[in-house]
Each structure stands twice: as structure tokens, then as C-alpha cells.
């Protein structure tokens, strides 16, 4: 066997596997691809020959970009800075006829484009108009997805964490609701080049989405296009209507403040002489209410209008402060007891025996008293003749004088009710005011209340009913007004 025959046999042995398999090197394809299909790299290579990413997809009409989001989480809704944070997928879809590969044969219907390919094609310049801070997710790879369909339609998804501004009206806080928007606007293209539209299901969210203090009541889609100096720029807005949950505030604010107000009423059942106990309860409740009010407003902005929480805390502070003031009044009334007692212990001279001189002196005093009473009664609308007859009768006590005077005034007022002139109406009003003053003076000079301590106990008994009833009325008015707004959301 010569050398040439050896080479021929070796060449036959090496070429034998190719003949057995029945395929040529040109027919071999990467593993997993369909037989005869063009690879995405080959498709993009053929499409980019005449493609310019700086030009919009269409030059004769605006390119429609459809927008939608998928919400992963809501968190950090901050009333003080009036913003909220969201983690979401931003979805955009548009048609670019320049990237259509329907004219190519042996191609797939759609494919995922390679990473960073979004830098080599035209994409919308969408931005968040009310965004304060935002970031893309790069762990473990860039969280972006770009898919191209056969007809040239692109599907672009980005994962974003952003902080959005949310103007809040805290007038009904914490029984309030807020409308927090997300605004999508084109940064550089006017409505002549691009227009925005919604996807079929523009707002989606995870099934177990939970917010710390709010619940999402509804989602509203709006158009927020705006005219600037450079032209009219398209804009779309998703507005989340959030309602605050009141459970936290019931436990942390309302119920404790109610208990503190009730605690301030305990002093009404403590003896008026127990000054340390009553003062301690009053000061403790006032300081506790003040501290609680400051803590509840610590996380809120310094707005110029009054909030529902302010109304509640101010009312509670007024009630506990009034309880402390009530003890101050009671204490003043109770101390009058000792002054009256001292005056009652002053020794009096024994009565002298009646005689002509004593009788003349008493008669002179009676005449002087009669003249004074006549003038006093005449000023109150009683005729001088009747006043003189009343005064000459001589009364033992001033209280009886006041009672008869009041009775006469009432009878006179009733008798002249049918024929009154305007001046008589004014005098009747004066008589009513005088009667009220005299009756009030009679009540406070009631001899059944032997000293100031009895009057102090009377004030305590009135306060035991007046304060709770007033607080119940306030609660009814407060919850009726603010809960009606809460239910209407």
C-alpha cells in the first residue's frame, strides 16, 4: 500500500459520520431552535440596516403609546412630607412599523430582545411628573423586559421604586380620605409626535396588597395633558382614592382621651376639704391631655386650618381644665363658711327694755326705712301709694320683702299684659331682668344652705351631671359631623 492509498482511506474514515447523519454543516442550528427559523440576532441585524433610533416610529401621525402599571406594594404614606412610596412595574406598548419582520420567512411570532437593546431603538420618553425620587432595580440583573412582535409591536416593562407627591387635605384627619396620583407625561415629545392611551387593564395589583393605615377604595383614570411654552404635552394620571383606617386612632387617641376626661370627673365625688387629691387629679389630667395632644400632632404638617383631631383634643382639654376650674370655684365657696361663722360668733348686746325712748327711736328708723323702700319700689314700677302701704307694714326679714316684691311685680306684669305700649315693653323687660337678679340673689342667700361649704357641695352635685351630659352631647355632635363625611367616601 502506497502513501496515496493511505490518505484516501483516512479521508473516507473522517467523512463517514457526516454521510451517516444526513446533514450538512449549513443545516446545523443551535440546540433548542426550530428547524429553519431565523435567530433573534439575525432578525435584528436585518432590521437595523436602515433603522434610526432618533426618529419616531411615524412621521405623518402621532405614535400611540399605551400605558399601564402593576402595583407590587404601597408603603410609607407620609402626611408630614405629603408623599407616598410605590413599587411597581411600568408597562408600555407601541407600534414601530420599522421593526416589523412579517416580510421575513422562517421567523418566530415574537421574541424577547437582548438586554440593553432598548438603547439601540426608539422608546418613549415617559417620566413621572409628580415624582420626588425614583430608582431602577438592577439586582441580580437589570429588571427590564423588551419584547418584539412580528407586526412591529413592542412591549416594554420596567420595575421601579418611586416616591410620589400627594397633596393632602387634612381637615378631617384622622377621619379623612386622600387622592394620591401617579402622572405619566412625555418629557420631550408634544402631542404632534406622541399620544398616550391606556392598556386594556391599566391598573393591576397583587392580590394581597395591604397598606399600613389606608385601604384603596377606587382607582380613577384621568387625562392631565398640559400646555407649556414648547407646546401641548400628553399626560395620563392614575388617581388612587385612599381611606384612612380609624382603628389605630381609636386605640391610641380617642379611647385614652375619653378615659382621661372621665378621670377628671372623679374630683366631683371627693370632699371639698381634700385639696391635695383634687388638685393632683386636675393637674394630672390637664398635663396628660396636653402631652397626648402634642404627640398626636407630632407627625402632622403645620397647616393653617383646624383638623378633626384638633377639635377633639381641644374639647378634651377644655373639659379637664373646666374640672380644675370647678374645684377652684368650689374651694372659694367653701372658705366663705369660716367668715360667716366668725360673724355669727360676734357677741351682741342684750335687748333693752321697751320704753318711750326706745319706741321713738325704732319709729324713726321705721319711717326712714319706709321712705327708702318707697323710693326703691317706685323705681321698680310699683305705684307710690301701694309702695308706701307695703313699706309701712314693716317686714321682719329682707328675704320676705324680696318675695313680696317679686310677687307684686309678677302680678303687675300679668295685669298689664294686654295693653302695653313700646315703652311699657321696655319697662317689662327691665322688670324681668330685675326679677331674675333678685331670684338669683335669693337662691344664693338661701338660709337652708347654712354656710359656704353647703353651697360648694351643691356645685359639686350639679357638676356630676352637667359635665357628663355636656361631654355626651359633644360626642354626638362630633361623631355625627365627621362620620357622615367618613361614610360618604
Which domains are delineated in the chain? 40-244 (2.70.170.10), 246-337+452-488 (1.20.58.390)
What local confidence, expressed as pLDDT, does residue 339 receive?
45
CA distances from 429 to 28, 312, 382, 434 (A): 116, 40, 15, 9
Write out pLDDT tens, residues 9-67: 666 666 554 444 444 434 344 443 444 467 878 888 877 778 888 899 988 899 999 99
What local confidence, expressed as pLDDT, does residue 378 receive?
44
What local confidence, expressed as pLDDT, does residue 75 receive?
86
Q: DSSP states of 428-481 as a string?
A: HHHHHHHHHHHHHHHHHT-TTS-SHHHHHHHHHHHHHHHHHHHHHHHHHHHHHH
For the CA atoms of 482, 484, 486, 489, the dihedral, rounded to the nearest 10 degrees, stands at -140
What local confidence, expressed as pLDDT, does residue 269 receive?
93
What local confidence, expressed as pLDDT, does residue 35 receive?
43
What local confidence, expressed as pLDDT, does residue 240 receive?
95
Beta bridge partners of 89: 70, 159
How far apart are alpha carbons 53 and 122 in whole angstroms?
A: 4
How far apart are alpha carbons 311 and 170 in whole angstroms?
A: 13
331 by Cβ neighbours in 10 Å (0-12 / 13-18 / 19+) ranks as: middle
- In sequence order, which ranges of 136-230 are alpha helices (DSSP H)? none
What local confidence, expressed as pLDDT, does residue 46 receive?
78
What local confidence, expressed as pLDDT, does residue 335 receive?
82
Ranges of residues in the chain whose predicted pLDDT is under 70:
1-37, 337-429, 432, 435-450, 487-489
Interhelix angle 308-344/255-264, rounded to 10 degrees, is 10
What local confidence, expressed as pLDDT, does residue 485 receive?
76
Write out pLDDT tens, residues 401-425: 444 444 444 444 444 444 445 455 4
Phi, psi of 221 (to 5 degrees): -100, 130
What local confidence, expressed as pLDDT, does residue 161 receive?
96
What local confidence, expressed as pLDDT, does residue 170 receive?
93
Amino acid at each position: 500500500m502506497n502513501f496515496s492509498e493511505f490518505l484516501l482511506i483516512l479521508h473516507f474514515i473522517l467523512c463517514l459520520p457526516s454521510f451517516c447523519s444526513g446533514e450538512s454543516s449549513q443545516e446545523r442550528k443551535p440546540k433548542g431552535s426550530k428547524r429553519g427559523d431565523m435567530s433573534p440576532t439575525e432578525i435584528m441585524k436585518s432590521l437595523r440596516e436602515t433603522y434610526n433610533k432618533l426618529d419616531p416610529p411615524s412621521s405623518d401621525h402621532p405614535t400611540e403609546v399605551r400605558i399601564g402599571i402593576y402595583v407590587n406594594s404601597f408603603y410609607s404614606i407620609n402626611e408630614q412630607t405629603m408623599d407616598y412610596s410605590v413599587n411597581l412595574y411600568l408597562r408600555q406598548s407601541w407600534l414601530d412599523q420599522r421593526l416589523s419582520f412579517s416580510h421575513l420567512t422562517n421567523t418566530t411570532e415574537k421574541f424577547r430582545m437582548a438586554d440593553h437593546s432598548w438603547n439601540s431603538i426608539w422608546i418613549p420618553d415617559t417620566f413621572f411628573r409628580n415624582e420626588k425620587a425614583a430608582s431602577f432595580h438592577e439586582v441580580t440583573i437589570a429588571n427590564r423586559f423588551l419584547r418584539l412582535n412580528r407586526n412591529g409591536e413592542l412591549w416594554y416593562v420596567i420595575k421601579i421604586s418611586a416616591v410620589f407627591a400627594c397633596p393632602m387635605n387634612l381637615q378631617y384627619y384622622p377621619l379623612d380620605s386622600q387622592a394620591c396620583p401617579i402622572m405619566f407625561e412625555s418629557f420631550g415629545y408634544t402631542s404632534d409626535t406622541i399620544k398616550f392611551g391606556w392598556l386594556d387593564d391599566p391598573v393591576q395589583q397583587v392580590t394581597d396588597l395591604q397598606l399600613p393605615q389606608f385601604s384603596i377604595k377606587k382607582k380613577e383614570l384621568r387625562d392631565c395633558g398640559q400646555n407649556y411654552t414648547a407646546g401641548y404635552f400628553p399626560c395620563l394620571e392614575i388617581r388612587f382614592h385612599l381611606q384612612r383606617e380609624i382603628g389605630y386612632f381609636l386605640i391610641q387617641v380617642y379611647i385614652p382621651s375619653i378615659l382621661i376626661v372621665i378621670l377628671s370627673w372623679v374630683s366631683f365625688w371627693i370632699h371639698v376639704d381634700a385639696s391635695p387629691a383634687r388638685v393632683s387629679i386636675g393637674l394630672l389630667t390637664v398635663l396628660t391631655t396636653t402631652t397626648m395632644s402634642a404627640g398626636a400632632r407630632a407627625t402632622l404638617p403645620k397647616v393653617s386650618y383646624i383638623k378633626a383631631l384638633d377639635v377633639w383634643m381641644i374639647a378634651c382639654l377644655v373639659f379637664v381644665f373646666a374640672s380644675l376650674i370647678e374645684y377652684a370655684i368650689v374651694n372659694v365657696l367653701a372658705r366663705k363658711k369660716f367668715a360667716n361663722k366668725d360673724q355669727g360668733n360676734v357677741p351682741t348686746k342684750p335687748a333693752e327694755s321697751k320704753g318711750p325712748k326706745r319706741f321713738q327711736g325704732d319709729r324713726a328708723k321705721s319711717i326712714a326705712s319706709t321712705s327708702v323702700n318707697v323710693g326703691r319700689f317706685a323705681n321698680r314700677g310699683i305705684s307710690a301709694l301701694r309702695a308706701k302701704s307695703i313699706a309701712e307694714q314693716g317686714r321682719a326679714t329682707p328675704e320676705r320683702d324680696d318675695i313680696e316684691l317679686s310677687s307684686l311685680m309678677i302680678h303687675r306684669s300679668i295685669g298689664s299684659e294686654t295693653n302695653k305700649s313700646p315703652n311699657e315693653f321696655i319697662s317689662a323687660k327691665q322688670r324681668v331682668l330685675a326679677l331674675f337678679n333678685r331670684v338669683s340673689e335669693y337662691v344664693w342667700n338661701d338660709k337652708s344652705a347654712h354656710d359656704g361649704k353647703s353651697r360648694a357641695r351643691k356645685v359639686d352635685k350639679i357638676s356630676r351631671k352637667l359635665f357628663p351630659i355636656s361631654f355626651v352631647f359633644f360626642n354626638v355632635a362630633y361623631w355625627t359631623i365627621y362620620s357622615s363625611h367618613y361614610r360618604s367616601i
